């Protein structure tokens, strides 16, 4: 333990190494004992999914699959909404070689880890050259590791700026192009409006979403997390520090309420949907929710734009999205593949686009008249998606992300934080992890 800060970065790294070692020991022990496998119904496919905004969604899809593929059944286990917590739940099962998972949802950041750990089977039989052409290139790239595809791409997303169109119009303000401009507009509107509005809402809790939000600030200041070859962390360089300092000094506790330090996607969305904020950073899927007067008090009053940048930088969005993977410990890979094919089919992706506003990974759906009619904003999203940037790609990404989460959260929570020192320690720890990953 670090005497001054509780668990320090080195502590976090050591914890990851211990967790990995224990996990490996358990896997060997279970393998040797031949235990950990439950007898299971031959026609039941177990799907482990994260908790989507629309809670009934997975069951409805499972029902549709069952109707089309008798006698197969889908047993559903819904995990937490947070990608970080869902990762913990799922990887625990996979480390135990659990037969309770056949098919699982996989965040775009996980294929290097899941492939290297041997948890996800390659899905090459679903992706011959003809099939590959049908997918948006960024989706397939995110699903691949060392030339093989480990996740069938389900949907893509990226960070965008939601703004109160009515308020910008009322105060005759343009859509902000830079972060400082956004902050000064937010302050002006909040001061004039006097209704207790917050200026900005986003995801600043210590979890994966914080990494996405912070990297967008850093990229748009021409900074980076890792050097161009991905071998060294450069979060201690001036551009990255400038972006983190801006979030600490100009957003947290000023344009954004301090409460955002505990916000994930649902809390940040709920504040904005209740009419409580002028600006919000969120993923694409917030749009249909905000446009629906049953779920949003600001329906018809919201605009959507690329995220702002710093002067001299360019707007940058983090690439997000989910894929469907096949467990290496599944006893029913053939049946499981049927479910994976179904979930990522054009029909289901069209349904997800129409009903949930999820951006498809199948290229044809961007020309689909129904989809475009229901969601004309997809035309605006396509270029944002095309330019969206991936988070660092390494088998040790969860550990790298945890160091970033601790660093970012500590840096922006305390207005006196020593940024160069905190960044320096994060860089040291991430460099050690990258070194370990190279040795794998």
Residues at the contact surface with ligand GLC, assessed by CB under 6 A: 83, 107-109, 157, 208-209, 212, 265, 283, 320-322
Closest to ligand GLC by CB, 197 or 388 = 388
Closest to ligand GLC by CB, 115 or 337 = 115
Which residue's Cβ has the minimum distance to ligand GLC?
320
Spatial distance between the Cα atoms of 228 and 112, rounded to a whole number of angstroms: 18
How many Å is the maximal CA-CA distance in the chain?
70
- Residue 265: CB minimum distance to ligand GLC, A: 6
- Residue 70: CB minimum distance to ligand GLC, A: 32
- Residue 370: CB minimum distance to ligand GLC, A: 23
> First and final CA of the chain: distance in angstroms?
27
Helix (H, G, I), strand (E, B) or coil at 203: coil
Tell me the backbone φ, ψ of residue 250, rounded to 5 degrees. Answer: -105, -15
- Residue 104: CB minimum distance to ligand GLC, A: 14
Tell me the helix, strand and coil percentages in the chain, rounded to 5.
50, 15, 35
- Residue 325: CB minimum distance to ligand GLC, A: 14
- H helices present in 286-396, as ranges: 286-290, 333-343, 346-356, 369-374, 378-387
Would you say 398 and 420 are in contact if contact means Cβ atoms under 8 Å apart?
no
Closest to ligand GLC by CB, 335 or 361 = 361
Spatial distance between the Cα atoms of 105 and 322, rounded to a whole number of angstroms: 7
Closest to ligand GLC by CB, 189 or 247 = 247
Closest to ligand GLC by CB, 102 or 265 = 265
Closest to ligand GLC by CB, 320 or 357 = 320
- Residue 254: CB minimum distance to ligand GLC, A: 24
Bridge-based pairing of strands 152-164 and 148-149 is unpaired
Closest to ligand GLC by CB, 119 or 283 = 283
Smallest CA-to-CA distance from 213 within 266, 160, 175, 258 is with 160
- Residue 271: CB minimum distance to ligand GLC, A: 16
**Residue 250 neighbours by CB distance under 10 Å:** 20
Give, in degrees to the nearest 5, the angle at Cα 164 between 163 and 166.
145
């Amino acid at each position: 333990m670090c005497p001054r800060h509780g668990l320090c970065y080195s502590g976090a790294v050591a914890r990851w190494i211990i967790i990995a070692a224990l996990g490996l020991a358990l896997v060997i022990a279970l393998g040797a004992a031949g235990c950990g496998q439950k007898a299971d119904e031959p026609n039941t496919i177990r799907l482990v999914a994260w908790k989507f905004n629309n809670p009934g969604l997975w069951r409805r899809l499972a029902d549709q699959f069952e109707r089309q593929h008798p006698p197969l059944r889908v047993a559903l286990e819904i995990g937490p909404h947070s990608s970080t917590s869902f990762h913990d739940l799922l990887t625990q099962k996979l480390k135990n070689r659990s037969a309770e998972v056949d098919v699982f949802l996989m965040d775009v950041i996980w294929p290097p880890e899941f492939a290297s750990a041997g948890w996800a089977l390659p899905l090459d039989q679903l992706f011959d050259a003809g099939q590959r052409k049908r997918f948006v290139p960024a989706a397939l790239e995110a699903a691949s590791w060392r030339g093989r595809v480990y996740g069938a791409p389900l949907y893509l997303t990226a960070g965008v700026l939601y703004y109160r169109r009515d308020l910008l119009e009322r105060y005759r303000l343009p859509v902000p192009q830079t972060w400082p401009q956004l902050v000064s507009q937010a302050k002006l509107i909040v001061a004039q409006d006097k209704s207790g509005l917050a200026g900005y809402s986003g995801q600043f809790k210590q979890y994966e979403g914080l990494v996405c939000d912070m990297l967008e600030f850093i990229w748009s200041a021409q900074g980076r997390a890792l050097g161009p070859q991905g071998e060294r962390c450069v979060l201690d360089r001036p551009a990255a520090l400038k972006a983190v300092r801006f979030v600490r000094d100009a957003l947290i506790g000023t344009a954004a309420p301090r409460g955002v330090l505990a916000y994930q996607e649902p809390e940040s969305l709920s504040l904005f949907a209740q009419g409580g904020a002028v600006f919000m950073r969120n993923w694409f899927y917030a749009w249909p929710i905000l446009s629906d007067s049953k779920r949003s008090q600001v329906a018809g009053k919201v605009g959507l734009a690329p995220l702002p940048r710093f002067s001299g930088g360019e707007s940058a969005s983090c690439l997000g999205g989910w894929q469907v993977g096949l467990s290496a410990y599944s006893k029913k890979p053939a049946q499981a593949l049927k479910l994976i094919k179904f979930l990522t089919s054009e029909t289901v992706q069209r349904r997800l686009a129409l009903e949930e506003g999820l951006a498809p990974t199948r290229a044809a759906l961007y020309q689909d008249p129904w989809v475009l009619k229901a969601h004309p904003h997809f035309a605006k999203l396509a270029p944002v998606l095309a330019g969206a940037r991936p988070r660092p790609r390494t088998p040790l990404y969860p550990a790298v992300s945890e160091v970033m989460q601790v660093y970012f959260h500590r840096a922006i929570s305390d207005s006196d934080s020593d940024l160069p020192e905190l960044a320096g320690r994060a860089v040291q720890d991430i460099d050690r992890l990258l070194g370990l990953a190279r040795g794998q």
